[in-house]
Amino acid sequence: MFFSAPGFSKERDRVGGDFKRSDNDGDGKLSRDEWRRGNFDRLDVDKDGYLILPEVRSIYEGHSNRSYNWPPRGFNRSAPENDSTVDKDLVDWGALERETLCAISRGRKCEMAAAIKRGLFETGLGPVFPADAVCHSIDDYFAMDYTFKRKRTAYHGGIDLPARWGTPMIAAAAGTVVGKFIGERSKRGIEIVIRHAPEDTGLPVWIYTGYGHLDKLPDLEVGHRVRLGELIGPTGNSGVSGKSGKKKSKRRPGIHFSAFFSKNREFAIHRGVVIPKNGHWMDPIALYRQRLPVDSHSMKALAEDKKEVPIPVMLEDRKVLPVGAKFIWPYLCKRD
């Protein structure tokens, strides 16, 4: 999505375009059900129960300023601890079933049906942040239809959280770095991928989280263990256009946050994509339920009142709400 700024043409105003696509009844405003991206009450300045375009645009204020200081204060990198299982669990991509390979890599010779079968479709989940915390909300949601800006049928493989240049991305759970990519030809750009073992999360599956659009290559290395909330790197807008294959200089900065799960610990890497053996897509919001199931079919089948998911967060003073949470939002939140 391009963010709106002075001098942008209407053709490049993706904020306005996405607003219209979300406005299902065409009344020029978004209800809570149409929004489902978090922070509805904060964005609804006039408290009329709807969002209008200027209110939505406010989430991009200040995002055109690229200046920031790095490294940020208050983050202390833990002493490097290597996980020796990474090399053992990395398998050749040729050992993967074709359905898994196609579903997650989404190569040009692959049909979208494989990805859909393995969970890449809208679930209807939405985040609910703590009342006393100010957090970054979503603009492009999981499995959003991206066909309008691709050369073929495509769905968004994660969630996007717009944030100012240099905003520190943090680890959503304890785990091990299994992928580090420069991403010169990737839509996700510079990216770090972390594998979270059952002992990290308390869930009987292996979970993978991806942190894309970084502005700089982090100093983390494959095999390094990371703690909950540990610094990943600075927010940027790295990555190429899915349609032109060229760098999008006007893309708003933010994180592309993705998640997968598998009952198998083995994984492969193919063309800059970490692919869990027998892996499945998952809506990242499902992580924050902190219990099984997490698969997209089960999430879509939830009752509507269960689709608003309370989000555990880490505050700027490094306190976690609620205490003991195994997953947190991938950006720090401020106290209200």
Q: Are residues 22 and 105 in the same domain?
A: no
**pLDDT of 4-57, one tens digit each?**
443 333 445 778 988 999 999 999 999 999 999 999 999 999 999 999 999 999
**Cα–Cα distance, 193 to 171 (Å, whole number):** 10
72 in any annotated domain: no
User: Does any domain span residue 67?
Assistant: no
Note whether 34 and 165 are same-domain residues: no
Residue 225 falls inside a structural domain: yes
pLDDT at 184 over 70: yes
pLDDT value for 2: 37
Report the candidate in 333, 167, 179 with the shortest Cα–Cα distance to residue 237.
167
Dihedral pair phi/psi, residue 26, rounded to 5°: 65, 25
pLDDT at 40 (0 to 100): 96
The pLDDT score that the predictor gives to residue 250 is: 76
Decide if pLDDT at 73 tops 60. Answer: yes
Q: Are residues 147 and 25 part of one domain? A: no
Q: Is the peptide bond before 168 cis (omega within 30 degrees of 0)?
A: no
**Mean pLDDT, range 189-218, rounded to an integer:** 97
Phi-psi region of 186 (alpha: psi -120 to 50; beta: other; left: phi over 0): beta
In a domain, 68, yes or no: no
Q: Quick one: which H or E segment has residue 274?
A: strand 273-276
Mean per-residue pLDDT, 279-285: 98
Q: Are residues 169 and 308 in the same domain?
A: yes
Assess whether 8 and 156 both reside in one domain.
Answer: no
* Claim to verify: residue 237 and residue 270 sit in the same structural domain: yes
Residue 136 gets the label, from left (phi > 0), alpha (psi -120 to 50) or beta, of beta
Q: If you average pLDDT over every residue of the chain, what do you get?
A: 92
Banded model confidence at residue 132, pLDDT cuts 50, 70, 90: very high
Q: Could you tell me which residue, 315 or 250, shows the higher pLDDT?
A: 315
Residues 120 and 171 in one domain: yes
Per-residue pLDDT reduced to its tens digit, 155-166: 999 999 999 999
pLDDT band (50, 70, 90) for residue 333? very high
**According to the model, what pLDDT value does residue 54 have?**
96
State residue 11's pLDDT score.
42
Task: Report in angstroms the alpha-carbon separations of 226 from 35, 77, 99, 255.
Answer: 33, 9, 31, 18
Q: What is the pLDDT of residue 244?
A: 65
> 112 and 143, same structural domain?
yes
**Tokens 């942008």, residue located:** 8
Answer positive or negative: Cα dihedral of 293, 298, 299, 301: negative
The H or E element containing residue 113 is helix 112-117
Find the CATH number of the domain harbouring 84. Answer: 2.70.70.10
Residue % of the chain over a pLDDT of 90: 83
In this structure, the answer to whether residues 96 and 148 fall within a common structural domain is: yes
User: What's residue 109's pLDDT?
Assistant: 86
Same domain, 260 and 327: yes
Longest dimension (CA), the chain: 56
Flag whether 69 is in a domain: no
Full domain range(s) for residue 19: 1-61
Query: What would the pLDDT profile of 229-277 be if each residue is shown by its tens digit?
Result: 999 999 999 998 766 667 766 789 999 999 999 999 999 999 999 999 9
Phi, psi (degrees; rounded to nearest 5) at 260: -140, 165
Task: Return the minimum-mean-pLDDT range out of 94-103, 121-130, 249-258.
Answer: 249-258
Among the three residues 36, 61, 86, which one is the final residue of a domain in this structure? Answer: 61
Of 76-80, 86-90, 308-312, the poorest mean pLDDT is in 76-80
Phi, psi at residue 206, to the nearest 5°? -95, 125
Q: In terms of domains, do 123 and 232 share one?
A: yes
Q: 11: domain CATH number?
A: 1.10.238.10
Is 177 within the bounds of a domain?
A: yes
193 and 121 in a single domain? The answer is: yes
- H helix and E strand count, the chain: 9, 17
